[in-house]
Amino acid sequence: MARVRRARAALRRWWGEDARGRTARTRGRAVAALAAATAALMALHSLVPGALGLGSLLETFLPWTGLAVPVLLLLALLRRSALALAVLPLPAAVWLALFHGALAGGAPAPAPGTGSLTVVQHNIGDANPSPRAAARALAEAGPDLVALEEVVPATRPAYEAELSPRLPHHAVVGTVGLWSRYPLTDVRPLDVRPPGLGPDWNRGLRATARTPYGPVAVHVVHLPSVRLRATGFDTARRDESAELLGAALESEELPRVLVLGDLNATLDDRGLDPVLERLGPPDAGAADGFAFSWPASFPVARIDHVLARGAAVTGLRTLPATGSDHLPVAARVTFPS
């Protein structure tokens, strides 16, 4: 009992008035305000101005804003602030509302009677030191479709040699390629070239995959990179290319559509709005975890995507590194019966 009394007394001293007469209810106002501001920033990220690319920069790393919660908790405890501790659940709740799907372990398996494809998307890297090994690793995932970006003449034969035995149908336009278990028809370039780039910039193709579940329009794209410059986060060309992709999706006549590619944007990034508006919002529970794909050495964002219209993307996950600066992503695409 004596120990309990001493512990209670120590706790009262800890939470009691400080030298300036402030109590646990009045200390830590700055920490409490910071917690409230963090919650507002996460909840209202779409209202952050797009000037200098600030909105896209925040949205690229939006999942990482959750790290503010343990930091604020530590500050609240150091300040002995009951006020800050009372406000702290706000940013935690907002973060969970935004990203609870990523913590749920991915979407469930397809219902009986539905058809599904296994799809792999990978920016394989134009300077990949082991192109054959990289392609072999992708083939071992058992895909029905493989989309590749940064396919260059020097490495293309390696990809054809490793992927074609399992995926005999393929098409390459510029630096993007599609390998398929099923026949490909209506193959053509997909023009997502933003103004100011020359005709040798070819980073899009459109093909129809003749699957057992009906024809599927497959768009393989590699949107321009974004750059962090002295003038801000430069997303202009990426955004222009996304507008062109959105227009192509708007005019797509097939009801079942896949978009596979390195979009150089996360799904939270407003720069992808022209694309997502034509596909419908992606399933928040599609990914097993966050499935960050870039950079491969320490992934902090998923900018490689498998998106669909007239189908559901489930079980999206990353695959082991291949020598590229991106990780491959694999997903199951299910079609209604």
pLDDT in tens, 236-248: 999 999 999 999 9
Does 51 lie in the same domain as 158? no
State the CB neighbour count (10 A cutoff) for residue 116: 18
Q: What is the pLDDT of residue 162?
A: 97
- Residue 109 counted as domain residue: no
φ/ψ of 117, rounded to 5, equals -125, 150
DSSP structure class, residue 320: -
Does 329 lie in the same domain as 214? yes
The domain tally of the chain equals: 2
Residue 145 above 80 pLDDT?
Answer: yes
User: What's the pLDDT band for 20 if we cut at 50, 70, 90?
Assistant: low
Does 310 lie in the same domain as 179? yes
Q: Among 286, 294, 272, which residue's Cα sits nearest to residue 317?
A: 286
- Helices (DSSP H) in 272-336: which residue ranges? 273-279
Does 127 lie in the same domain as 96? no
Does 119 lie in the same domain as 25? no
Does 160 lie in the same domain as 270? yes
What does pLDDT average to over the chain? 90
Mind listing the pLDDT tens digit for each residue in 98-124?
Answer: 998 887 755 555 555 568 999 999 999
> For residue 326, what are its two tokens?
């991106």
- Residue 170 counted as domain residue: yes
Mind listing the pLDDT tens digit for each residue in 66-104?
Answer: 999 999 999 999 888 888 999 999 999 999 999 988 877
Does 155 lie in the same domain as 27? no
Residue 81 belongs to what domain range?
2-103
Residue 24 above 70 pLDDT?
Answer: no
pTM (2 decimals)? 0.89
Beta strands in 268-328 (DSSP E): 304-309, 312-318
- Residue 289 counted as domain residue: yes
Query: How large is the average pLDDT for residues 167-183?
Result: 98
Q: What is the pLDDT of residue 67?
A: 96
Does 151 lie in the same domain as 241? yes
Does 307 lie in the same domain as 224? yes
What is the domain-level CATH number for residue 224? 3.60.10.10
Beta strands in 24-160 (DSSP E): 115-123, 145-149
φ/ψ of 40, rounded to 5, equals -65, -40
